[in-house]
Structure 1
Amino acid sequence: MTYPLELREGTKEWDTHYPIRIHRNRASASLKDDVILSLHWHESFEIIDMQAGRAVFHIDSHPYEAQEGDLLFVPSGGLHIGYSTEDGPVEYVAIVFDGALVSKPVHDPVYDRYIVPYLDGRASLPVKIRAEEAEEFYLRPLVREITSELERRDDAYQLVVKHKMELLFALLARRFLPRKLAEKRPTTRNAEPFKPLVEHIRKHYDEPLSIEQAARMVNLNPYYFCKIFKKLTGRTFVDYVNGHRMNEAERMLLHSDLNVTEIAERVGCGNANYFTKLYKKYKGMPPSQALRS
């Protein structure tokens, strides 16, 4: 279902390499029927962890009553709103994340079997998991560990959160993914035309390639090309190309005698300053540090 753009949640741009945010929502003196979550939608997934009080969340027109310990999973594009169902304090944590957070840039058949069905829309996460079940299958403790990491922001918290999100999806698949769906190979109909393009990027990563040029290679207009490419890879086209270039740059930094300027030219970034900025964004360190490692 398509919802009005005016209800789309207005948020700042994602960090494309770490697309996850957390919101802790508290109402210390909520009244029955108070709105505790305004009506909106977004293209991201959302986990709602009820931590105090009682509420009802309408997700895609279906009401789900929630109390302490319950988990709700809002699907990508799902219209949702929440109301308190009693007087008193209400608290919940909302974890909003893009599917790219738990996607993989390389082929992994086990990953494709259990996690990709949730990312490409072939399977839906259960909207509500009751507190007892969330505890029994380690889902609620895991969500709260993710919350703690996101709020404390200790060193390398991004890696810990990504790992725990992948574990969360794996546990959800173990509990809820229909066996027939897990055993069914994902369709490759939409992927086939993209294989020559991906091979071109792999071989010619040093050459400029615009979205318009790439779209023509698969006979799509740029809008649908971008949409399908992200659905197939979990990343935008520009993000995918830059990521591949930085992977190649890392290989050269570690296994060749080329200097930073030479490597920048080899991967299609003629400007060494731009290359340094890009490398740091993707690898978390300047290329000069990789050279010393």
Structure 2
Amino acid sequence: MKAYHENRSYNSTLPFTPMLLRNFSFLAHWHNDLEFMYVAEGSIRAGVNSESRLLRQGDMAISCSGDIHYYDSRGLESTILIIVFNPRLIGYPGGWPQEVRLSSPFVESSGKPPESPEALLSAAAHDRITRMKLEAEERPPHYELLITGLLYELCGLILRSIGSKPAEPGRDRRLGTGLTAMQGALDYLEKHYSAPVTLDEAAREAGMSRFHFSRFFKNATGLSFVSYLNHIRVNKAEELILHTNRTLTDIALECGFTNVRTFNRVFRQFRGQTPSSLRR
């Protein structure tokens, strides 16, 4: 798992990336780009803002601009298709959708009749995403136009099938304030994971009470504050172990662990092995 406010870069002039991933987990993060995830096989837990679902084959998670979202495959088997793209490709450089919000960030088609709106959207999404992935990989002439057209079509189908609700200034303002505070908290942890960050400190950074922050954080990320912070620290430590010759003690201290004993315990808890086993 990884975590951050993601500023995406793309390998081509087209701000679009398709991915086929197996047993994928990713810590709660957010970005302005749109991210559509389709479950091709198996099942995976997904969260978008304060909602979470166990998604199965044919289901989707739709993360709009600024949504805090995560994927969790622990104890599960899955193959997923993900596309990430800049909303300017569909004419919304400031974020999509505008002035409305989706009725739900999830499309749950598993177990539904083939003629149901959810099943029809699932089949259409799988077709469009698969075609876009093939175009992006092979890059035949004018593939950029074709991908852009398919994105317009897919976004239109999502709005038509899922539906949208008019913006509710009061509710959306409260939700937006909470999400903005949580975005700031995630950014803060990404920047200060090496320091002895506490729950109280993070709550103050978010402008919330300890209790409210703890509850909101768990709903938005699917993890407790301590577990999320330790995931970041273990991720950073693993990178340093694999790509530097620094001692494990130095790495442990740089990544925010107070001693090697705690580092070994937490690392084994998340990776199923000790840090030293990565260098054998």
- Greater RCO, CA 8 A, separation 6+: 2
Q: TM-score, normalised by structure 2?
A: 0.48
Q: TM-score, normalised by structure 1?
A: 0.46
Larger radius of gyration, structure 1 or 2? 1
